[in-house]
Amino acid sequence: MSDGSSDPTLPAGILDGDTAIGKRVPRESAKRLVAGRGRYVGDISLPRMLHLAFLRSPYAHAIIGDIDISAAAAVPGVTHVITGRQVAEVCAPLMGVAHHRPGHRSAPQHVMAVEKTCWQGEPVVAVLAESRAIAEDAAELIEVDWQDLPAVVDAADALSPDAPVLHAEMGDNLAFQFDVDTGDADAAFAAAHTVVEHDFRFDSQTPLTLEPRGLIADFDPSTGGITVHHSGQSPFQMQDILSENLGIPEHRVRVICPDVGGGFGLKVNVYGDEIAVAAISKIVGRPVRFLADRLESFVSDIHARDHVVTARMAVDADGAITAMEMDDLAALGAYGMARRFSVAEGMMAVTMMGAPYRFENYRARTRNVYVNKPLVGVYRGVGMPFACVAQEVLADKAAAALDMDPVAFRRQNYRRLDELPYTSPGGAKVDTASFAACLDKLTAAMDYDHLRAEQAELCGQGVWRGIGIATFIEQTAYGPPYYGPSLARISVQDGCTVKLEPSGKVRCITSITDQGQGTWTGIAQVVASSLGIPVDDVEIHAGDSATTPFGGGAWASRGMAIGGEAALKASLALRANILALAGAITQADPAKLALRAGEVVNMETGMASISLAEVGRVGYFRQDTLPGDFDVELTVTHNHAHNHQLYYTANGVQGAYVEVDIETGFIRLLGHWAVDDCGRIINPLMVDEQVRGGVVQGLGAALFEQCLYSEDGQLQNGTMADYLAPMAAEMPDIVVEHVETPEASTRLGAKGVGEAGTIGAIGVMWSAVNDALRPLGASIHHQPFTPERVLDALDRANAGSENGT
């Protein structure tokens, strides 16, 4: 057999020159080349796993003086006490700056505080022990000489010239400002028949996943590599961060994200304490386990949506929108979020404002400031709910001012199908949309005219009901132009390997992860449908950076849109290879063969000619029966990324029916309807429940959830007894229907649906509650709509009436 050295088809240097082939590789190097083989220990037991607990800062802003760890280190069962300064020696700080956004600033963030702390809950000292309980008890014995500093927790206060500055090297607390000025907003507002305006305040919230954050980091000193089992959404992102910050080559970093109990964006953000756990495993050379309990989750998980917004809309006498304006002020927490950029909330708000509607003149500004609170990160819907809320409240107010029905006002101002694709005045790029079709389906589903008649009748009886309508666009499945220019190392592609086993069953290995969405089921359906086999014959493997194709994982509703498309590409390629092999075995034309129910079928006769199991048997074990030049390829890998698209655009409309008790301020949810266009639907049940779950989270944001802080930055409601989350008994029936407009750039046609329910639900609650209060001259301005805030709105309205205003 030729050694190939003279084979002209081989690239130069493959079998000669300075390559690994033909060299005597040392035994130590050969051991490291065997990925996942585990440690060679002989007669020595593996090191026992250590449990880690953090001492977190009790102050929102403080200088760290002397740290006395002696009492903690003396506790039986404690093995190590490690400070932030020790961790900083082996771990580079994080930096949350988007390089394509001029003026975006952040101070470097050490993964554990070194000289000072900038929020209550920042990790300062780590205690490692034989159990979590021992580590927690020992951490309470650590004494720190704290020098308490003035804190700032309100975004407006943080801009004051005399505000405490979190990071002295920045000079002030302004992280970023972005302005939009399209058309001539001043002229449009001056010429308008009617101008309506509203101010909005959104209290911060936190995602509340069922399973808290956690990981086990296992550094292997014999190989210089690390394996991390992580409750996360993106194993390759975590792999890259650990490699970059700990100085470990990527191929020595393995991250495994199994089936995770909830993500919502929470677990795709970058957490200093998680990177610290890996760094500490590297320091001590032993496996280290950290699991955030619910109490520390409240002060260490990301927060979101801490914004103050003012907005206005101009319309002409016929009800056509002529201009919009938005001013957004956002609190980002203590640092910029590495890679996932806290400024995304404000950027999305001003970009998506008014995107479903036809108008030309727009002015907007978002200012983002640092405050002494936990970092803000991406959370389901990110900044899109702000745009939805503002545009829909203004649409209702404009319709009321013109004595128009709110549905008619929206229908008149929607972008038409013949305007697609378009770029909105804020810069949102919309390729496909179905606003009018969704609205028509919604009003039919909720029997809109009947509800309006019932509302009017009950109003005369002193029963105050409101009907809300909210139109939204969901940016999904971000592409390379979105993150690439920022220089953030975030993969927006996904890959899939599909392999026919000798048994005729199929193994699918995908880079997409699953946190309860059911995405793996959808991918299995795509593979099964492409190969003509039952879904039960497809085995999914995922969540392992050492074994799956490279990819982004789960975030931004990309599971089916990107991962499903990769699975379709791989499955169709494997299908072609199977038919080619079957044709060679049966001496038939592959073009006349098809796959059905696990058999290769002759399309002309409809008869099965060979089973997939037999194809697998011959392909793997009896290649001697095949033509000499036939290559058996029963394992196929394909990737997908939409290289030149910023994102896909899904859209929808939601409706709500509520009743407000003006004596108590309580809001009763009577009905909720959602019509969504997420492209081609692969699994209707999965899609419906994604929408319902998103709606519940949106209702929670609008009605219940808030992180309350004192003036000195202390969280006041950091338990599940005090932080209100939506309960099943409080939720209405949620009717979900669909319009399907397939994504035109892919064969699968899926767009994504993970965030739609949340975006629309927040907006529709603002619309419905204000509709109920409108006859009383009241309006709500502060989210969540607690009973106290509803009663305050009514009191202000009554006071205004008494004063003749």
Give me the percent of the chain exceeding a pLDDT of 70: 94
For residue 93, the model assigns a pLDDT of 98
Q: Which two tokens stand for residue 118?
A: 């900038």
Could you tell me which CATH number the domain at 307-481+644-802 has?
3.30.365.10
C-beta of residue 252 within 8 angstroms of C-beta of residue 194: no
Q: What 3 state SS string does 229-296 have?
A: EECCCCHHHHHHHHHHHHCCCHHHEEEECCCCCCCCCHHHCCCHHHHHHHHHHHHHCCCEEEECCHHH
Q: How many CB atoms lie within 10 A of CB 618?
A: 20
For residue 790, the model assigns a pLDDT of 98
Q: What are 715-774's pLDDT values in tens digits?
A: 999 999 999 999 999 999 999 999 999 999 999 999 999 999 999 999 999 999 999 999
Beta-strand (E) ranges in 441-562? 464-476, 494-500, 506-510, 538-542
Does 791 have pLDDT greater than 50? Answer: yes
For residue 36, the model assigns a pLDDT of 39
Amino acid at 100: H
φ and ψ at residue 216, rounded to 5 degrees: -120, 120
Does 26 have pLDDT greater than 60? Answer: no
Residue 242's DSSP bridge partners are none
Nearest residue to 211 (alpha-carbon basis) of 198, 196, 230: 230
- Give residue for tokens 């992102």: 237
Planar angle of CA 357, 362, 366, nearest 5 degrees = 110
C-alpha atoms less than 13 angstroms from C-alpha of 667 in its C-beta half-sphere: 32
Looking at domain 4-38+493-640, its CATH architecture is 2-Layer Sandwich (3.30)
- Give residue for tokens 């599971």: 559
Q: What is the mean pLDDT of residues 356-361?
A: 98
Does 37 have pLDDT greater than 70? Answer: no
Q: What is the mean pLDDT of residues 678-704?
A: 98
C-beta of residue 345 within 8 angstroms of C-beta of residue 386: yes
Give the pLDDT band of residue 800 (cuts 50, 70, 90). confident
Verify cis geometry, omega within 30 degrees of 0, for the bond prior to 421. Answer: yes
Does 467 have pLDDT greater than 80? Answer: yes
Q: What are 310-334's pLDDT values in tens digits?
A: 999 999 999 999 999 999 999 999 9
Can you list the pairs that 576-583 forms with residues at least 24 positions away whose Cβ atoms lie under 8 Å?
A: 577/633, 577/634, 577/636, 578/500, 578/531, 578/612, 578/615, 578/634, 581/615, 581/618, 581/619, 581/626, 581/630, 581/632, 581/634, 582/609, 582/610, 582/615
Residue 253's DSSP bridge partners are 226
Answer with the residue of higher pLDDT: 804 or 183: 183
Give me the percent of the chain exceeding a pLDDT of 90: 93
Name, in order, each residue with C-beta under 8 angstroms of 738's C-beta and a sequence gap of 6 or more. 675, 676, 677, 678, 681, 684, 687
Does 486 have pLDDT greater than 60? Answer: yes
* Cα 213 to Cα 261: distance, rounded to the nearest angstrom: 10
Does 303 have pLDDT greater than 90? Answer: yes
Q: How many CB atoms lie within 10 A of CB 25?
A: 11
* Cα 304 to Cα 125: distance, rounded to the nearest angstrom: 26
Name, in order, each residue with C-beta under 8 angstroms of 439's C-beta and a sequence gap of 6 or more. 407, 410, 411, 414, 469, 471, 653, 675
C-beta of residue 396 within 8 angstroms of C-beta of residue 466: no
Does 42 have pLDDT greater than 70? Answer: no
Q: Which helix (H) or strand (E) holds 766?
A: helix 756-773
Nearest residue to 565 (alpha-carbon basis) of 677, 648, 633, 481: 648
- The β-bridge relationship of strands 50-56 and 288-291 is parallel
According to CATH, where is 3.90.1170.50 located in the chain?
A: 41-149+207-300
Give the pLDDT band of residue 47 (cuts 50, 70, 90). confident
For residue 45, the model assigns a pLDDT of 56
* Cα 92 to Cα 111: distance, rounded to the nearest angstrom: 8
Could you tell me which CATH number the domain at 41-149+207-300 has?
3.90.1170.50
Question: What does the CA dihedral 715, 717, 718, 719 come to, rounded to 10 degrees?
Answer: 170
Nearest residue to 549 (alpha-carbon basis) of 584, 511, 587, 504: 511
According to CATH, where is 3.30.365.10 located in the chain?
A: 4-38+493-640, 307-481+644-802
φ and ψ at residue 780, rounded to 5 degrees: -95, 145
Q: How does the average pLDDT of the chain come out, rounded?
A: 94
Nearest residue to 245 (alpha-carbon basis) of 280, 285, 284, 289: 280
Q: Which helix (H) or strand (E) holds 188?
A: helix 185-191
C-beta of residue 218 within 8 angstroms of C-beta of residue 226: yes
- Give residue for tokens 């390729």: 431
Residue 364's DSSP bridge partners are 180, 326
* Cα 339 to Cα 377: distance, rounded to the nearest angstrom: 10
Q: What is the mean pLDDT of residues 571-583?
A: 98
Q: What are 522-561's pLDDT values in tens digits?
A: 999 999 999 999 999 999 999 999 999 999 999 999 999 9
Q: Which helix (H) or strand (E) holds 82?
A: strand 78-83
Nearest residue to 124 (alpha-carbon basis) of 136, 132, 116: 116
Q: Which helix (H) or strand (E) holds 524?
A: helix 519-531
- The β-bridge relationship of strands 599-602 and 225-230 is unpaired
Q: Which helix (H) or strand (E) holds 653?
A: strand 648-660
Does 21 have pLDDT greater than 90? Answer: no
Q: What is the mean pLDDT of residues 764-792?
A: 98
Amino acid at 127: V
* Cα 503 to Cα 443: distance, rounded to the nearest angstrom: 52
Q: What is the mean pLDDT of residues 571-590?
A: 97
Verify cis geometry, omega within 30 degrees of 0, for the bond prior to 784. Answer: yes
For residue 39, the model assigns a pLDDT of 42
